[in-house]
């Protein structure tokens, strides 16, 4: 990812106005004061990422790109990966989190730091800084925590927070550990305010109670006035939760969601959602996005907006080279490119959702292959497919009923892509032992 190739949209008078237009502000502290600060000062700001898994997901990507926009506008980011808050976990709406071992959390801290780093520049006058809240919580005794921090909190206020209230009204209730999470997050803001002059925190709007925990703590402990931005929770136009399908998150780690899957996720964005996604997840200008909106309205079949969205977000997260491989794989799978040029990982990702079959090396006749792969119900149906010109192996049309596939045609020494007609496909793995 080339940090310097991105820039904010210069058609807006202030970065705050751009954030509003892009739909990145659901709730905030004093908007007028915040816009003034972002326009006239160099603001040090932070966002926290808890290591509750080995990877960040699409919800975190909103925060990463917001941080990037603010840095490009001249402000100083602090990227906090929570080695201590990750040991507790922010409360879920319904059930208690399972606590991970300290070793596991430490490993996830390193994983997430590596994911965050490419989105920010760690050089220059407004260089980013990576911080870990374990550095200031680990040395803190329980007595000092209660005396110096706990004394500023009122239980009545804490139990009114939306998440806490919902958990208190549930059958499971809430543990003291998760109940105290908002104090830990407030402590983070206080420490960053003291150490680095940090005056702005961002997070999802569902975290607003935790965000304001910090603003209130700084007001009480230091008499300081600071700000918070809550970004909207993004949902699809049909009301479903964005980024999840049948309970599966879209991860930023390519080992958990491949670049091919990631690209296809964005490419399959509904027309009703694509303009919003372009504003939030890309650095396209207002003029470019409005042109893509018009193209979607006038020529929806071209899917120009979806292609632009998929290209840019995939390139931001996985790089241009990986994105080019994904596009090449998509073309090759449907006969518009060279399958043999795809690396094994990309080929595997591109064909992951196709039917798969394993055959013995001695049974590579075209008729047997079509049946084994489930593309034909019987040998007679397979013969008919071949004679009618509808059988393809690795995009090569096969019209000889007696054709036997040569071992040199195997992709990566063991795979064949079979196709019946234009779009019915299956992957065959040839057993070599």
Domain with CATH 3.40.50.620 in the chain: 3-233
* CA angle, residues 75, 68, 70, in degrees to nearest 5: 35
Domain with CATH 1.10.240.10 in the chain: 248-339
pLDDT tier at 16 (50, 70, 90 boundaries)?
very high
**pLDDT over 70 at 361, yes or no:** no
Model pLDDT, residue 244: 64
**CATH class assigned to 248-339:** mainly alpha
| 193 assigned to a ligand binding site | no
CATH number corresponding to 356-431: 3.10.290.10
Q: How far is CA 84 from CA 2, 81, 198, 256, in A?
A: 31, 9, 19, 24
Comparing 404 with 141, the larger pLDDT belongs to 141
| 185 assigned to a ligand binding site | yes
Per-residue pLDDT of 387-425, as tens digits, reads 999 999 999 999 999 888 878 888 998 899 999 998 899
Residue spans of alpha helices (H) in 98-228: 102-116, 134-137, 142-144, 155-158, 162-168, 176-179, 181-196, 208-222
Model pLDDT, residue 216: 96
Cα atoms in the Cβ-side hemisphere of radius 13 Å centred on 288: 14
pLDDT tier at 51 (50, 70, 90 boundaries)?
very high
Average model confidence (pLDDT) for the chain? 91
Q: For CA atoms 81, 82, 87, 88, give the dihedral sign.
A: negative
Fold of the CATH domain 3-233: Rossmann fold (3.40.50)
Model pLDDT, residue 212: 94
**pLDDT over 70 at 247, yes or no:** no
| 196 assigned to a ligand binding site | no
| 17 assigned to a ligand binding site | no
């Amino acid at each position: 990812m080339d940090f310097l190739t991105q820039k904010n949209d210069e058609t807006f008078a202030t970065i705050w106005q751009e954030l509003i237009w892009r739909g990145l502000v659901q709730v905030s502290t004093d908007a007028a004061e915040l816009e003034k600060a972002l326009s006239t000062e160099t603001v040090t700001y932070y966002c926290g990422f808890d290591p509750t898994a080995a990877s960040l997901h699409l919800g975190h990507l909103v925060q990463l790109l917001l941080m990037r926009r603010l840095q490009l506008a001249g402000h100083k980011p602090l990227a906090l990966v929570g080695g201590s808050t990750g040991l507790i976990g922010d409360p879920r709406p319904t059930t208690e989190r399972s606590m991970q071992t300290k070793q596991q959390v430490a490993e996830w801290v390193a994983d997430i730091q590596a994911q965050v780093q490419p989105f920010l520049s760690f050089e220059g006058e407004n260089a980013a800084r990576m911080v870990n809240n374990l550095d200031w919580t680990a040395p803190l005794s329980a007595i000092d925590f209660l005396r110096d921090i706990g004394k500023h909190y009122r239980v009545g206020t804490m139990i009114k927070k939306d998440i806490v209230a919902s958990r208190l009204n549930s059958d499971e209730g809430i543990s003291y550990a998760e109940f105290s999470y908002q104090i830990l997050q407030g402590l983070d803001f206080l420490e960053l305010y003291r150490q680095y002059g940090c005056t702005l925190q961002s997070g999802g709007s569902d975290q607003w109670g935790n965000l304001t925990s910090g603003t209130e703590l700084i007001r009480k402990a230091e008499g300081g006035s600071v700000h918070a931005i809550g970004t909207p929770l993004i949902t699809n136009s049909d009301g479903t939760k964005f980024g999840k399908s049948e309970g599966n998150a879209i991860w930023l780690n390519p080992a958990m969601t491949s670049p091919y899957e990631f690209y296809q996720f964005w490419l399959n964005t509904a027309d009703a959602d694509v303009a919003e996604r372009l504003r939030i997840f890309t650095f396209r200008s207002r003029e470019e996005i409005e042109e893509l909106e018009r193209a979607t309205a006038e020529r929806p079949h071209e899917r120009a907006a979806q292609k632009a969205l998929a290209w840019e977000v995939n390139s931001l997260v996985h790089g241009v080279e990986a994105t080019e491989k994904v596009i090449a794989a998509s073309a090759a799978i449907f006969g518009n490119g060279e399958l043999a040029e795809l690396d094994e990982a990309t080929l595997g990702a591109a064909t992951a959702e196709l039917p798969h079959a394993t055959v013995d090396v001695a049974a590579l006749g075209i008729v047997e292959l079509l049946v084994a792969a489930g593309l034909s119900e019987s040998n007679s149906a397979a013969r008919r497919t071949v004679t009618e010109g509808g059988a393809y192996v690795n995009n090569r049309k096969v019209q000889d009923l007696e054709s036997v596939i040569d071992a040199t045609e195997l992709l990566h020494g063991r795979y064949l892509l079979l196709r019946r007609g234009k779009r019915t496909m299956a992957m065959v793995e040839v057993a070599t032992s």
